[in-house]
Chain A
């Protein structure tokens, strides 16, 4: 597997990495990583087309094996055969990263209040408060 950023993507978030599998095992590993990722990825298909999407399902046992995604600009789900995938770039923000309880407590009171206010303001802007 070639990774454009670091040789190991097994620790921490893969955000920012581009994975270009060179065999079936690496392809499966990359798709598992994308399935577990809580941000958008950009899938480069062997046709040359790219799709910015969230990977929410996959079946390595399917015949053919497939993954299922929600394109960031679309309404419905799209199914992609494993064999169509040339590369996966973890381009979107990892929404689960860097928000630990410790980080929350380590922040100054003013920073915590600012973050709480930001979440509240976003919810208010959407009409959810």
Chain B
């Protein structure tokens, strides 16, 4: 199993508790962006196009810890920007680990080898390394030669030091299913705990607007990739979300599942759309007009199948329906049964 039992238990307990309390909307993963500055300029990224004085702003460790407490989600993903640029990222993670949250530091790994000394291995800490394919595809996606090799070296070193390491992969419409399958083989051979995959989202501000996947093509691509999965492949995400990407399941978006906090505040309504900010998490949950977002409700959401909207829907299916729970158990225990 790609996700450790203790983490699965923590998430399951949290979700069941929310359900027993009758909470209709609850967060699953806090997307914590401590800064927008990055050391790459990837063509598919819409997160870093800001003036320098905005890119220079950073959340303090105290702001990060308070956001996690306020939100209460059992999992915290730390993207950005490149979080390892933040001079206090070690302290930020240490404080979140002390809160016993499961942390995913989402990094391009350029600085990882140098920064590993700032982190103590922990079951609560995972480095989620951005890898968009084999060497040729990855270096093209990040618009710089040599980054794939640097990331592979850093993954090996992090694993050597006893860290949990996963990969996160965004696929665009030019992805070659056979090459992606080869890429999965290569990542698993490195010894990573699991992989995360998602189609890209057409950020309004991303340089690359032509290569984002539309829904039909997403299902076709992911079906080709994930049908007859190899026994060695492990995915660090809900099996039902992968079903959704393949067109086996239909879900509505759960935009409050992955709330986003950054230097502007709590982002309305989700990680991908920027329609305004609130000062508090409570205000985000209460003031956002959730009915305006999701499939068939908003043109900006029409073609989106991204994990930050639908992974929480898949988890809700697991714990909200008997059939969802049974299928999750089946695919978890027998990944090749899909």
* Chain A residues with a Cβ under 8 A of chain B: 36, 38-40, 54, 56-59, 68, 70, 72-73, 92-93, 95-96, 99-104, 112, 115-116, 119-120, 123, 126, 128-129
- A70-B54, A129-B110 given. 18 additional CB < 8 A pairs? A39-B51, A54-B54, A57-B277, A95-B50, A95-B51, A96-B204, A100-B210, A101-B209, A101-B210, A103-B207, A104-B143, A104-B208, A119-B41, A119-B144, A123-B40, A126-B37, A128-B39, A128-B82
**Which residues of the partner chain A approach B143 to less than 8 Å between Cβ atoms?**
104, 112, 115-116, 119
Distance from B184 Cβ to chain A, minimum over Cβ atoms (Å): 25
Distance from B116 Cβ to chain A, minimum over Cβ atoms (Å): 16
Q: Decide: A72 near B208, CB < 8 A? Known: A57-B264, A116-B143, A123-B39.
A: no
A128 CA to B85 CA, complexed, in Å: 6
**Which residues of the partner chain A approach B210 to less than 8 Å between Cβ atoms?**
100-102
| Interchain CB contact under 8 A, B264 and A120 | no
Kindly report which residue of chain B lies nearest to residue A68, judged by CB atoms. Answer: B277
| Interchain CB contact under 8 A, A129 and B207 | no
Distance from A127 Cβ to chain B, minimum over Cβ atoms (Å): 9
**Which residues of the partner chain B approach A126 to less than 8 Å between Cβ atoms?**
37
Instruction: Specify which of A68, A100, A115 is in contact with B208 (CB 8 Å cutoff).
Output: A100
A100 CA to B205 CA, complexed, in Å: 10
**Which residues of the partner chain A approach B145 to less than 8 Å between Cβ atoms?**
116
| Interchain CB contact under 8 A, A57 and B265 | yes
**Which residues of the partner chain A approach B85 to less than 8 Å between Cβ atoms?**
128
Secondary structure dominating the interface of A: mixed
| Interchain CB contact under 8 A, B57 and A96 | no
Task: List 8 A-B pairs, Cβ < 8 Å.
Answer: A57-B265, A73-B53, A92-B51, A96-B204, A100-B210, A116-B145, A128-B37, A129-B111
| Interchain CB contact under 8 A, B82 and A58 | no
A17 CA to B82 CA, complexed, in Å: 32
Distance from A102 Cβ to chain B, minimum over Cβ atoms (Å): 7
| Interchain CB contact under 8 A, A38 and B49 | yes
A105 CA to B41 CA, complexed, in Å: 15
Which residues, 21 to 78 on B, are CB-close (under 8 Å) to A? 37, 39-41, 43, 46, 49-51, 53-54, 57
**Which residues of the partner chain B approach A103 to less than 8 Å between Cβ atoms?**
207
Distance from B222 Cβ to chain A, minimum over Cβ atoms (Å): 22
Residue among A39, A72, A128 with max Cβ neighbours from chain B (10 Å): A128
Give how many B residues have a beta carbon under 8 Å from the other chain's beta carbons.
30
| Interchain CB contact under 8 A, A58 and B39 | no
**Interface residue? B191 (CB, 8 A):** no
**Which residues of the partner chain A approach B144 to less than 8 Å between Cβ atoms?**
116, 119-120
Kindly report which residue of chain A lies nearest to residue B110, judged by CB atoms. Answer: A129
Distance from A110 Cβ to chain B, minimum over Cβ atoms (Å): 14
A101 CA to B13 CA, complexed, in Å: 44
Instruction: Specify which of B40, B50, B111, B276 is in contact with A58 (CB 8 Å cutoff).
Output: B276
**Which residues of the partner chain B approach A96 to less than 8 Å between Cβ atoms?**
46, 49, 204-205, 207
Distance from B49 Cβ to chain A, minimum over Cβ atoms (Å): 4
A36 CA to B273 CA, complexed, in Å: 11
**Which residues of the partner chain B approach A58 to less than 8 Å between Cβ atoms?**
276
A40 CA to B22 CA, complexed, in Å: 44
Distance from B19 Cβ to chain A, minimum over Cβ atoms (Å): 33
Residue among B37, B40, B82, B204 with max Cβ neighbours from chain A (10 Å): B40
**Which residues of the partner chain B approach A92 to less than 8 Å between Cβ atoms?**
51
**Which residues of the partner chain A approach B57 to less than 8 Å between Cβ atoms?**
70
Kindly report which residue of chain B lies nearest to residue A100, judged by CB atoms. Answer: B207
Instruction: Specify which of B39, B53, B82, B209 is in contact with A72 (CB 8 Å cutoff).
Output: B53
A73 CA to B85 CA, complexed, in Å: 22
A25 CA to B303 CA, complexed, in Å: 31
**Interface residue? B156 (CB, 8 A):** no
Kindly report which residue of chain B lies nearest to residue A117, judged by CB atoms. Answer: B144
**Interface residue? B211 (CB, 8 A):** yes
**Which residues of the partner chain B approach A56 to less than 8 Å between Cβ atoms?**
54, 264, 277
Distance from A63 Cβ to chain B, minimum over Cβ atoms (Å): 14
**Which residues of the partner chain A approach B40 to less than 8 Å between Cβ atoms?**
119, 123
| Interchain CB contact under 8 A, A57 and B276 | yes
| Interchain CB contact under 8 A, B277 and A38 | no
Instruction: Specify which of B49, B110, B211, B265 is in contact with A95 (CB 8 Å cutoff).
Output: B49
A74 CA to B81 CA, complexed, in Å: 21
